[in-house]
Structure 1
Amino acid sequence: MSLVKFKSRPWGNLITSDFFDKDDFFGNNVWNKKLDEPALNIKETDEAFEVELAAPGFAKKDFEVTIDDGCLNISAESSNSKEEKEENYTRKEFSYNSFEKKLHLPDSVKEEDVKAKYKDGVLSFNLVKKEESKNHKPKKIEVV
């Protein structure tokens, strides 16, 4: 008689696929963050906020950017399809990509002066600050 090591699964038959990683089931990679969100950088200067959003593979026409109720809404959708017909086969390829991102703007941003630019796969925004917030210096508070 030979013994075979049995790998128990605490979830029973719920998860039987070898493609399922139980470490990711409770980790940060599956449900705790969206996998389809683009990377985002925000830099603050005295004059403005500079926002960069990594969105390669899109064209300028694929983006829709709006400001509504103090929120910068960015969405993009792109699809491509290609069909090749030969004498004894047909090959079809397609792709679809989309994302949506919402950023709550600080009160110090002049919404009417927001500028956007897309170049080399990076969507950039220049969010100009209002005059009263440009000269604002932090006030030091003494702890007693």
Structure 2
Amino acid sequence: MKKSMTPSVFGNAFPTAWDDFDRMLEGFFVPTTRSEFKFNPAVDIEELPNQYLVTLDIPGLNREDIKVEVKDNTLSISGERKREEKEEKPGYTRYERSHGTFERRFTLPETVSGKEVSAKYEDGVLKVTLPKSSESPSHFVDIN
């Protein structure tokens, strides 16, 4: 399979010193209680000949709890997994399932046709299809 020479659609091919600085600062602002944590669903991104496919595992949500938006060449996927309200029962020693809000943002390449993006949520998996535009984002300019 031929690998595209285009930089990764959802990654930065040339990270900057600011990227390292941002990652370093994230460690200083850790929430103090478990209820303040956001959860960060895992994302797979696949480049296919005519489209990109973004897949998120976000079980336990309803379609109404998920928002997918394309704006200014950015794909935003956000939502909220509400904590189940249970009365305290003897026998519960841990709560490890993530809950709270999440947001994932990805800068799209110019080749994505933002108006034709579609999403499907089934069995706890969200699949966002981003068709590639048939129009070339670049062209030659005649010199007079």
TM-score by length of 2: 0.57
Larger relative contact order (CA 8 Å, sep ≥ 6): 2
Instruction: Go from structure 1 to structure 2 and tell me whether the alpha carbon gap of 1:81 and 1:50 turns closer, same or farther (over 3 Å shift).
Output: closer
Q: Which runs of 4+ in 1 moved over 4 A?
A: none
1:24 match = none
Letter in 2 for 1:31: G
The aligned residue for residue 31 of structure 1 is 27
Unaligned runs of 5+ in 1: 1-29, 85-89, 134-144
Counterpart in the other structure of 1:73: 76
What secondary structure is seen at the aligned counterpart in 2 of 1:131?
Answer: coil
> Is 1:115 aligned with 2:111?
no
For the 8 Å contact 2:38–2:102, the answer to whether it is kept is no
CA offset digits 1:47-105 (Å, max 9, x no partner): 10011011111111101111111001111013244466xxxxx86xxx84221110111
Tell me what 2:105 maps to: 102
Residue 49 (structure 2) pairs with residue 46 (structure 1): yes
Q: Is the 8 A contact 2:77 2:105 kept in 1?
A: yes
Aligned Cα root-mean-square deviation (Å): 3.0
Task: Give distance in 2, aligned partners of 1:115 and 1:83.
Answer: 36
State which structure, 1 or 2, has the greater radius of gyration over its C-alpha atoms. Answer: 1
Q: Counterpart of 1:62?
A: 65
More strand by share: 1
Q: Percent of aligned pairs with the same residue?
A: 36
Structure 2 equivalent of residue 138 of structure 1: none
Q: How many residues align?
A: 97
Unaligned runs of 5+ residues in structure 2 are 1-25, 29-36, 90-97, 137-144
